[in-house]
């Protein structure tokens, strides 16, 4: 495969806790992933992105890392990881790992040292600040997971910054030693043979060094990314707590490090005010990052033809050179089947359309089975974000329930009780069941992925003449070798001479 495999590539996201358990503790593990890789390869995807499996107290289920170079015992050992990479490469799959560099766990030794006094060697590795003269937090910045983004620390008698949980203190990227330490860690994983990185919250690395208050957000901009609209975070501008200009220089440093190995980056940009500009700034200029993970198709809004056309229009105007990575589902949002209330037929049409769009695509485990969001009781919740905002927002557990492989106990995921329940209704959608049914959503995904693989214009070609006529979306993809005309009726009714949910792809 060429070194441009990522361009137009399809990346399959694995949430390790919920993919396959081999030890019988009810939690998935790396050995389980390795065991199931032939299935993943059979889908025809280019790469896997594995959500964090590093040593962690699991307050945010691995997005709170206490040792960036260690494997959490819950997920296995470094030998398991090495075996997984070897297996993936034998099967022609690239391996991307998920690095959470913006913050660490409060159990990370760096933070233990940093909070021990005001003058230790790591005293400025995190973002520490004194209260305002009136005793209130240093700025009005808010945490996505609720409340102020500042937590008081009684020993230092100072506040530290956390954009997420209080147990996820924000690393201070203005300190070059911090950058160096993180880049050394990146090198460690490169030496292990990984092919790329999904970088968590890449636009949160830097904060305003002058600690200025965020202004209020104009009401018309008060829409959420993936965060629930009940969250006050969405009512504030984020001018100063994220998306700072200093980030570009760091991304260029990172790029220098990655260049010799050819490893690539998909960076998660969460910014509803400046999304497209950042996309261009990070991926539209050579020498930074390859792809940016974007939220346009992850939000609650119905994904109608007009909305897709509008997203691409905005890209053409604001980010003409950028390379987005699309996703409809992931481990943070309601599964799109439930979010948009889709029939199997509709799910298939959206899959085909995704495979025809300019950009790369991330698929989330289970979406190829057409799984819907699991409905959980409050007592079953594990996600602190959901527990905080229940019942207006139900959290992220409903999309994190285990994969369903077969009709065995717990859908073949685990021999003992899984950490989140397997919904009854998911058992009608197992891999084994769908393999046997030529009309299944699974077979359709395989076909649509194959379609993209076969057509260079779909992977890397230009995308032009994008139009929405009622529910009918049409556009052209072309490169030096071919031109394809795509038309899709994204509705339950006949339209534009097409049957409901019909997608036409015509060559020439
Ligand atoms: O998610 C970042 C995150 O919460 C965004 O979706 C956010 O809502 C948006 O950027 C707001 O502008 C990542 C991980 O995917 C998630 O699982 C973690 O909990 C989080 O980072 C913290 O590490």
Calpha distance 84→369 (Å, rounded):
23
Taking residue 471's Cβ as centre, other Cβ atoms within 10 Å add up to 20
Edge to edge, the sheet with strand 150-153 lists 128-129, 158-161, 150-153
Cα distance between residue 125 and residue 344, in whole Å? 49
pLDDT in tens, 262-315: 999 999 999 988 999 999 999 999 999 999 999 999 987 789 999 999 999 999
Atom 18 (ligand 1): residue with closest C-alpha?
Answer: 63
Atom of ligand 1 nearest to the CA of 100: 23
Provide the whole-model pTM. Answer: 0.98
What is the CA(225)–ligand 1 centre distance, in A? 10
- Is there an atom of ligand 1 within 6 Å of 270 CB? yes
In angstroms, what is the span from residue 101 Cα to ligand 1's centroid? 12
225 close to ligand 1 (CB < 6 Angstrom): yes
Q: Is 157 a catalytic residue?
A: no
pLDDT tens for each residue of 392-426: 999 999 999 999 999 999 999 999 999 999 999 99
Instruction: Determine contact, residues 82/65, Cβ cutoff 8 Å.
Output: no
Q: Are 351 and 445 in contact (CB under 8 A)?
A: yes
ipTM (interface predicted TM): 0.92
List of residues 6+ apart from 343 with CB closer than 8 A:
492, 501
Closest CA to 279 of 223, 233, 320: 320
Cβ-count burial of 216 within 10 angstroms (0-12 exposed, 13-18 middle, 19+ buried)? Answer: exposed
DSSP 8-state code for residue 148: B
> Model confidence at 441, in pLDDT bands (50, 70, 90)?
very high
**From the CA of 334, how far away is ligand 1's center (Å)?**
14
Distance CA 159, CA 460 (A): 47
Bridge partner residues of 14 (DSSP)? 50
Taking alpha carbons only, the member of 164, 174, 163 closest to residue 124 is 174
- The alpha carbons of the chain give a radius of gyration, in whole angstroms, of 22
Predicted local distance difference test score (pLDDT) of residue 272: 87
Dump pLDDT digits (tens) for 333-346.
Answer: 999 999 999 999 99
Given CATH 2.60.40.1180, say whether it is the number of domain 462-507.
Answer: yes
pLDDT at 220: 75
* Rounded mean pLDDT, 476-488: 98
Q: What confidence tens digit (pLDDT) does each residue in 309-324 have? A: 999 999 999 999 999 9
Q: Tell me, what's the pLDDT at 218?
A: 82
Does pLDDT of 223 surpass 90? no
The model's pLDDT over 189-211, given as tens digits with 9 standing for 90+, comes to 999 999 999 999 999 999 999 99
The rounded mean pLDDT for the chain is 96
Domain boundaries, the chain: 10-104+176-207+223-229+241-454, 462-507
Residue 425's nearest CA partner among 373, 364, 468 is 373
Three-state DSSP class for 152? strand
The catalytically annotated residue of 64, 195, 200, 271 is 200
Evaluate: CB of 164 within 6 angstroms of ligand 1: yes
- Check if 23 has its Cβ closer than 6 Å to any atom of ligand 1: no
Annotated active-site residue 184? The verdict is no
In the set 29, 241, 268, 271, the catalytic residue is: 268
201 CB under 6 A from ligand 1? Answer: yes
CATH of domain 10-104+176-207+223-229+241-454: 3.20.20.80
Ligand 1 centroid distance, CA of 270 (Å): 8
Nearest to 475 by CA among 462, 491, 486: 486
Q: Please state at what angle helix 247-258 crosses helix 176-191, rounded to 10 degrees.
A: 30
- Name the residue with the closest Cα to ligand 1, atom 10: 270
The residue count for the chain:
508
Q: Which atom of ligand 1 is closest in space to residue 295's alpha carbon?
A: 6
Residues near 351 by Cβ (< 8 Å), separated by ≥ 6? 441, 444, 445, 448
Q: Does ligand 1 come within 6 angstroms of the Cβ of 200?
A: yes
| pLDDT tens per residue across span 58-71 | 999 999 999 999 99
pLDDT tens across 239-267, in order? 999 999 999 999 999 999 999 999 999 99
Best mutation site among 16, 68, 197, 201 for ligand 1 pocket (most ligand atoms within 8 Å of CB): 201
Kindly provide the residue ranges of all beta strands, DSSP E only, lying in 118-221, ordered along the sequence. Answer: 128-129, 150-153, 158-161, 196-199
Report percent pLDDT > 90 for the chain: 94
CB neighbour class for 406 (10 Å; exposed up to 12, middle 13-18, buried from 19): middle
481 CA → ligand 1 middle, Å: 39
How many angstroms separate the CA atoms of 74 and 136, rounded? 40
The whole-angstrom separation of Cα 389 and Cα 377 is 14
Distance 207 CA to ligand 1 centre (A): 16
Query: Is the confidence at residue 1, as pLDDT, over 60?
Result: no
Beta strands, E only, 324-461: 324-327, 360-364
- What gap in Å lies between CA 290 and CA 98, rounded to an integer? 15
Provide the 10 A C-beta neighbour count for residue 141. 24
203: its two tokens? 């636009």
* Phi–psi pair at 55, nearest 5 degrees: -55, 130
């Amino acid at each position: 495969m060429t070194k441009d495999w990522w361009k137009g590539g399809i990346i399959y996201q694995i949430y390790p806790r919920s993919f396959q358990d081999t030890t019988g503790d009810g939690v998935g593990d790396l050995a389980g992933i390795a065991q199931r890789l032939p299935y993943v390869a059979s889908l025809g995807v280019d790469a896997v992105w594995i959500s964090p499996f590093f040593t962690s107290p699991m307050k945010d289920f691995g997005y709170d890392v206490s040792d960036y170079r260690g494997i959490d015992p819950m997920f296995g050992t470094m030998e398991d990881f090495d075996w997984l990479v070897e297996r993936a490469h034998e099967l022609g799959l690239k391996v991307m790992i998920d690095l959470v560099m913006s913050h660490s766990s409060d159990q990370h030794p760096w933070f233990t040292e940093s909070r021990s006094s005001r003058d230790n060697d790591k005293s400025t590795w995190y973002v520490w600040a004194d209260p305002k003269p009136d005793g209130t937090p240093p700025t009005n910045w808010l945490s996505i997971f609720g409340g102020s983004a500042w937590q008081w620390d009684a020993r230092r008698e100072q506040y530290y910054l956390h954009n997420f949980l209080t147990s996820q203190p924000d690393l201070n990227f203005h300190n070059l030693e911090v950058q160096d330490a993180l880049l050394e860690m990146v090198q460690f994983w490169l030496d292990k043979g990984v092919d790329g990185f999904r970088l968590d919250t890449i636009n949160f690395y830097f904060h305003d060094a002058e600690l200025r208050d965020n202004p209020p957000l104009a009401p018309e901009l008060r829409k959420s990314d993936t965060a629930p609209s009940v969250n006050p975070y969405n009512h504030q501008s984020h001018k100063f707590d994220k998306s700072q200009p200093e980030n570009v220089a760091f991304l260029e440093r990172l790029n220098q490090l990655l260049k010799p190995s050819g490893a690539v980056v998909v960076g998660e940009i969460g910014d509803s005010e400046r999304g497209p500009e950042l996309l261009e700034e990070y991926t539209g200029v050579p020498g930074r990052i390859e792809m940016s993970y974007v939220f346009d198709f992850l939000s609650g809004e119905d994904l109608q033809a007009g909305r897709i056309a509008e997203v691409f229009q905005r890209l053409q105007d604001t980010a003409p050179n950028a390379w987005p990575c699309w996703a409809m589902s992931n481990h943070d949002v309601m599964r799109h089947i439930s979010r948009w209330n889709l029939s199997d037929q509709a799910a298939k049409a959206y899959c085909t359309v995704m495979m025809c769009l300019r950009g790369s695509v991330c698929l989330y485990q289970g979406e190829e089975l057409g799984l819907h969001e699991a409905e959980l009781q409050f007592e079953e919740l594990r996600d602190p974000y959901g527990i905080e905002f229940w019942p207006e927002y139900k959290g992220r557990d409903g999309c994190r329930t285990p994969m369903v492989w077969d009709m065995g106990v717990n859908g073949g995921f685990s021999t003992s009780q899984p950490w989140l329940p397997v919904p009854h209704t998911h058992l009608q959608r197992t891999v084994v069941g769908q393999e046997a049914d030529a009309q299944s959503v699974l077979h359709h995904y395989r076909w649509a992925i194959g379609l993209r693989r076969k057509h260079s214009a779909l992977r890397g070609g230009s995308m032009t003449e994008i139009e929405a006529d009622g529910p009918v979306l049409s556009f052209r993809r072309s490169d030096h070798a071919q031109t394809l005309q795509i038309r899709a009726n994204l509705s339950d009714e006949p339209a534009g001479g097409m049957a409901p949910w019909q997608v036409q792809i015509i060559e020439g």
